[in-house]
Structure 1
Amino acid sequence: MAEVHEANEANASQASGVHQHAARVIADDAEAIAVAHELAVRLARDAAQRDRERRLPHEEIEWFSQSGLWAITVPKAYGGAGVSFVTLTEVIKIVAAADPSLGQLPQNHFGLVDVISLTGTEEQKRYFFAQIVSGKRFGNGFSEKGTKHVLDLKTRVRRDGDDYVVDGTKFYSTGALFAHFVPVLGLDDERKGWLAYIPKGTPGLNVIDDWSGFGQRTTASGTVVLEGVRVPASHVFPAHRVSDFPTLNGPVSQIIQAAIDAGIAQAAVNDTLTFVRTRSRPWIDSNVERAGDDPLTVREIGHLHIQLHAAEALLERAARTLDAIAAKGDTSEDDVALASVAVGEAKVLTTEIALLASEKLFELAGTQSTLSEHNLDRHWRNARTHTLHDPVRWKYHLVGNYYLNGVKPARHAWN
């Protein structure tokens, strides 16, 4: 199944003709929501087939970035829409409901845009924000396999004259195969984190399509190998500052994760309703003609919607918390703790409803829903895979420890 990125470059270039035109520039929150709804209709049409065939969405991701949605968090002063976190989470939720693999692809991109805002020089901001507004995409090279924990990194970033040199191997590199820049996280000799935004095609950068997860199958979240990759200093950012100092980067990363799970849940609920209405049979003891009139099915549908709406309410509440803190300007340790807890609460419920809805689908829709022709198991596979990014059991601990003992969550990308 593994294919090196050169083999995929041809496919990508065939689909990238749209890049001959300037990407749409979205002006405000309302336009962002409207564009997301329009795009979701296109993305949903062949989502099940793409998953079944593991057909990578080279053409679809071009539609996505050319729509302007990848630039909506660029500040207005630099040509972006500077949308609210409420809008950002809604956009991600809408796209993820159509195709959660595509919904996940810009997840790290938005976090990396935030890193530029927080740590970049004025020159770096002008350059990279212009790139994003023009339709360029960031992938990622963060996590590694075989280490003690997610922050135990072997990748090294060292200064060499006017450049930095990066060496290492990454995995779970969502979006890297489709990216114009692959930002890679590595440590210097003092074990401080640096992010090198490496342009596609840089010598020594090799992106390998070896993602074999049973869910989120078309994210191509495989391996990135870096061998003596030289990067100009203008493309390197002091990533350690987003955790050394109180910033919202961690909560921002996490709320996007939660929005993806909410989208997966919505898709599962939608398909449950459709199947029950059009294909399912009522149980013999219900004494009704339609599955939709089966009182126990009706009860379970009600329960799913209550859980989904509760998750969405906490997601919006968390987004409004981030917006209120961001509007203040100066972010304190207490602000970051409050944001992390609010997002953690939302992430618990979005995780639980994504798993519940994607499993209940089969119970309520019946045996016919398990047929491979419907490919409805993709909802559970996607939910189970994506919700493993960080353990929700630790979100319960984070929230409880804050309220009971006043302990602020650790500052990193998973809080």
Structure 2
Amino acid sequence: MSKKTEAETTESRPRVNSSAPFAPRPRPGVPAHVIRDDAEALQTARRLAAEFSQGASERDREGWLPVDEVDAYSQSGLWGITVPRAYGGAEVSYATLAEVISTIAAADSSIAQITQNHLALVSQIALDASDSQKKELFGLVLEGYRFGNAFSERNSRNVAAFETRLVEQGEDVVVNGQKFYTTGALLAHIVPIVAVDADGKGFLVFAERDAPGLTVINDWSSFGQRVTASGSILIDNVKVPKSRVVSVDAFDRPTAAGPISQIIQAAIDAGIARGALDETVAFLQTKSRPWIDSGKDRATEDPLTISTVGGLVIRLHAAEALLERAGRRIDAAVRAPGEDTVTAAALATAEAKVLTTEVAIEATNRLFELAGTRSTLAEHNLDRYWRNARVHTLHDPVRWKYFHIGNYELNGISPPRHPWN
């Protein structure tokens, strides 16, 4: 390939933060691989992480959307690993899912986050859809179809207040509204829309990405998680068959829906921490100088640096251990849903979320303190770890995790049931 062709190809890659509508991606040309067990899922995640890490810094710096990478990711079968065995999936442990996501996030946390809503939706289908809907939607997932996200609204009074409306029209529903923070929708094949009817009842409306009236805009402008395929969606008289409408009931009874959504978020933060720590160690070993007062010849011999790295390793391992524990508690709640098992899953996941948040922020901050001023040079782009940690950990406030954990311990009050607990 000539240099000119390379440059032209590079410049043609889609970038973030554009006011123009983003064209739908082609549907899978061939079915995705179907992963059969936990071991294969972990092996596949490690292989993809090694590939994704190669261009992660450049994608972040240039604002290139990971179009090819997401295609490879969904075709690998990892987007279908939580589909129940009864419908053809591997139904892996949620501890395994957390490790898969953290492995991908250590390589590129934006790519890991693009999966989040899809996986949460798979669990929602398992909990709320009819058998015929499960057969259709799980079948699409196993073929490699990606679900996006049209949940949050920018101007509503809180995250659970929805102004997007649906009305029945014969065998269809018609949806109108506007969404923001639509992670993954740009590159999705199907965009599930959260909408409410006249009585305020919530539904998931699985609209085709290319449905008339559905406009996805690539206008995400955050300083972190820059290439998460987020943005906004305009929904103008979008018509969807009733067979693609799922009533959202999972939060009206004890289910693991909330902890499942949350453990994926916590896993992303754990991955960011792991990636930052690995970068810190590599930089100290190859580029940093020891501080003059240490009397050492190499940065890796500096006793204060050694001690600080040891502390980070301990805190990261503690966060990862709580993440695995939370996954096992979620597994138990999925097998036997009830007040006790769901509360245990929610609290364990909250504890993991606290530690993964804290270690992500600390590890990405300590990177510069330990590696030194030269680590801040633009050529290294190491600030992407801090930017990604700072933005992603804002997904929901950890201060409320402390409250719910303490409120249960002191007063026996379980956390409220919603996607953020």
Query: Structure 2 length normalisation: TM-score?
Result: 0.95
Structure 1 segment 239-388 matched on structure 2, within 5 A:
239=248, 241-328=249-336, 331-388=337-394
Instruction: For 2:35 and 2:375, locate their aligned partners in 1 and report how far apart those are by CA, in whole Å.
Output: 40
**Matched residue SS, 1:4:** coil
**Matched residue SS, 1:207:** strand
Instruction: For 2:113 and 2:228, locate their aligned partners in 1 and report how far apart those are by CA, in whole Å.
Output: 7
Structure 1 segment 9-408 matched on structure 2, within 5 A:
9=24, 12-13=25-26, 19-239=28-248, 241-328=249-336, 331-408=337-414
Whether the 8 Å contact between 2:329 and 2:341 is mirrored in structure 1 is: no
Whether the 8 Å contact between 2:114 and 2:183 is mirrored in structure 1 is: yes
Query: Structure 1 length normalisation: TM-score?
Result: 0.96
Residue 4 (structure 1) aligned with residue 20 (structure 2): yes
**Matched residue SS, 2:210:** coil
**Matched residue SS, 1:158:** strand
- What is the CA-CA distance between 1:335 and the residue it aligns to? 2.0
- What is the CA-CA distance between 1:22 and the residue it aligns to? 2.0
Unaligned 5+ segments in structure 2 are 1-16
- What is the CA-CA distance between 1:197 and the residue it aligns to? 0.7
Instruction: For 2:183 and 2:93, locate their aligned partners in 1 and report how far apart those are by CA, in whole Å.
Output: 24
Identity among equivalent positions (%) equals 54
Counterpart amino acid of residue 286 in structure 1:
S
Counterpart amino acid of residue 39 in structure 2:
A
Instruction: For 2:260 and 2:154, locate their aligned partners in 1 and report how far apart those are by CA, in whole Å.
Output: 24
Deviation string 1:228-253 (CA, Å, 9 cap, x unpaired) is 100100111001x0111111100100
Unaligned 5+ segments in structure 1 are none
- What is the CA-CA distance between 1:220 and the residue it aligns to? 2.3
- What is the CA-CA distance between 1:72 and the residue it aligns to? 0.3
Deviation string 1:162-212 (CA, Å, 9 cap, x unpaired) is 111111000000000000000010111111110101111100000000000
RMSD: 1.0
Whether the 8 Å contact between 1:5 and 1:177 is mirrored in structure 2 is: no
- What is the CA-CA distance between 1:333 and the residue it aligns to? 2.0
Counterpart amino acid of residue 305 in structure 1:
V
Instruction: For 1:29 and 1:70, locate their aligned partners in 2 and report how far apart those are by CA, in whole Å.
Output: 13
Whether the 8 Å contact between 2:312 and 2:363 is mirrored in structure 1 is: yes
**Matched residue SS, 1:211:** coil
Counterpart amino acid of residue 414 in structure 1:
W
Deviation string 1:70-94 (CA, Å, 9 cap, x unpaired) is 0001111211111111111110010
Counterpart amino acid of residue 398 in structure 2:
V
